[in-house]
Amino acid sequence: MAEARRRQAEAAGRRAETLAAWWLRLKGWRILASRVRTPLGEVDLVASRGRVVAFVEVKHRKTQRELAEAIDHHRLRRVAAAAEALMPRFVREGQDARIDVILLAPRRLPRHLTHVWQGD
């Protein structure tokens, strides 16, 4: 039973990441990578537009209230650590890097939060 729930959650997460990638593309972003893992954590999407490279955490929940609780300091710290490890691979000289979050809930437009991490 728990294994089936885990697989469902994994599939829902992949669908959310696909939707977030399409949303970013519609807004003029180019997707450089998805589901990039490091020993320090994972980045759901890496995207670029102009001089900006965004390391994007994607969260999908059933309600807006659950989305409000989906992102916390601990999760963002892990994404930031992974992003820092990935910067040499994705960020070129003259580009700016940032951590963004895309929040998804049924029957709602995606919500793109920018510059969500300023460090400790």
Q: Is the pLDDT of residue 106 over 80?
A: yes
Average pLDDT over residues 31-47: 95
Residue count of the chain: 120
Average pLDDT over residues 89-103: 95
pLDDT (tens digit per residue) in 22-38: 999 999 999 999 999 99
The CATH number that applies at residue 29 is 3.40.1350.10
How many CB atoms sit inside 10 A of residue 57's CB?
28
Indicate the average pLDDT of the chain: 90
Q: Within a domain: residue 119?
A: no
Range of the domain at 68: 2-113
pLDDT > 70 fraction of the chain, expressed in percent and rounded: 97
pLDDT (tens digit per residue) in 48-68: 999 999 999 999 888 777 777
Q: Within a domain: residue 98?
A: yes
Cα–Cα distance between 9 and 27 in angstroms, integer?
A: 27
pLDDT reported for residue 81 = 95
Bridge partners of 100, per DSSP, are 56
For the chain, how many structural domains are there in total?
A: 1
pLDDT reported for residue 49 = 97
